[in-house]
């Protein structure tokens, strides 16, 4: 019964917000896109931005088109917003959309040079690879997801070393392909997950300065910075010694530290 009431409340709140937007809203806001890939801190960045009362951020709206065109989704997303909204945007991964050959979103984004882009990466892409394996194994994809904390023994995974090397090289290629060189005429900010974790306040100030919007002082309780897998790679990888032998002689040797 409680869940039913909650669902009804959420639906009515969304309907009211939509009504107010259509009647009193406008399209005077600026556009913003978070660019990246899985396991790089994009959810953390989304939460940070969405907490600001003047920013309306949506999730991976282009992941599944479900029969719609990219252009239709774009136009629906950037419709009228509440009058106090200064930025509206979404999160876009390199592989989006997942369910369609329609990749026009990338052409639309390239053509709209007024869109600001925040490209979030993770310096240790080996940890991205291992984190994804752990997420697949445990079913836990982000630190805000409900459920019991996983013990290290529950998270340990075996790594296919050859596949891992291929994935790391592909990751570097994708970062370059979808980076600044692809959007030379956009206002573009690049930051890393590690920076966001290690120097939170500095990076928040840097982001708001880039957007030209007042800094929103978040409550500690609203900003979950807990890492899902803080353990060392040696603790998390069952065949760590094999990985060291292969990756230790590659261009990714530095990622083992």
What is the DSSP annotation of 117-180? Answer: EEEEE-S-HHHHHHHHHHHHHH---STTS-SPPPPHHHH-B---HHHHHHHHHHHHHHHHHTSG
Interior angle at CA 245, CA 242 and CA 251, nearest 5:
125
Helices 70-77 & 104-111, crossing angle to 10 degrees? 50
* Spatial CA neighbour of 161 closest among 254, 248, 257, 229: 248
87-93 and 116-121: which strand pairing?
Answer: unpaired
Who contacts 10 (Cβ-Cβ below 8 Å, separation ≥6)?
none
On the question of a cis peptide bond just before residue 97, with omega within 30 degrees of 0, the verdict is yes
Looking at residues 103-116, what average pLDDT do you find?
97
Q: Which residues pair with 191 in a beta bridge?
A: 120
Looking at residues 133-151, what average pLDDT do you find?
69
pLDDT surpassing 70 at residue 20? no
- Reported confidence tier of residue 145, pLDDT bands at 50, 70, 90: very low
CATH 2.40.50 fits 24-256, yes or no: no
Q: Tell me if 224 sits within 8 A of 144, measured CB to CB.
A: yes
How much helix, strand and coil, in percent to the nearest 5, is found in the chain? 50, 10, 40
- pTM higher than the cut 0.85: no
pLDDT surpassing 70 at residue 174? yes
- Reported confidence tier of residue 102, pLDDT bands at 50, 70, 90: very high
pLDDT surpassing 70 at residue 12? no
Looking at residues 208-223, what average pLDDT do you find?
75
- Reported confidence tier of residue 24, pLDDT bands at 50, 70, 90: low
Say how far apart CA 242 and CA 246 lie, in whole Å: 7
Looking at residues 127-139, what average pLDDT do you find?
90
Largest CA distance in the chain: 63
Looking at residues 25-35, what average pLDDT do you find?
92
Q: Tell me if 198 sits within 8 A of 123, measured CB to CB.
A: no
């Amino acid at each position: 019964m409680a869940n039913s009431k909650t669902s009804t409340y959420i639906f009515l709140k969304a309907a009211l917000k939509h009504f107010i937007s259509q009647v009193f809203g406008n399209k005077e806001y600026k556009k913003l896109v978070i660019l990246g890939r899985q396991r790089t801190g994009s959810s953390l960045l989304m939460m940070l931005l969405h907490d600001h009362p003047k920013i309306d951020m949506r999730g991976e709206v282009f992941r599944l088109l479900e029969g719609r065109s990219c252009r239709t989704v774009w136009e629906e997303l950037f419709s009228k917003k509440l009058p106090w909204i200064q930025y509206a945007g979404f999160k876009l991964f390199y592989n989006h959309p997942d369910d369609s050959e329609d990749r026009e979103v990338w052409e639309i984004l390239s053509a709209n040079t007024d869109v600001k882009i925040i490209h979030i990466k993770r310096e240790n892409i080996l940890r991205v690879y291992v984190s994804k394996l752990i997420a697949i194994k445990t079913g836990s994809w982000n630190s805000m997801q409900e459920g019991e904390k996983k013990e290290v023994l529950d998270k340990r995974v075996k790594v296919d070393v050859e596949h891992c090397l291929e994935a790391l090289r592909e990751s570097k290629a994708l970062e370059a392909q979808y980076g600044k060189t692809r959007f030379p005429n956009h206002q573009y900010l690049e930051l890393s997950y590690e920076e966001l974790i290690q120097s939170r306040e500095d990076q928040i100030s840097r982001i708001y300065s880039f957007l030209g919007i007042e800094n929103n002082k978040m409550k500690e309780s609203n900003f979950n910075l807990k890492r899902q897998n803080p353990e060392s790679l040696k603790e998390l990888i069952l065949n760590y010694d094999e990985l060291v032998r292969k990756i230790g002689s590659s261009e990714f040797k530095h990622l083992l530290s």
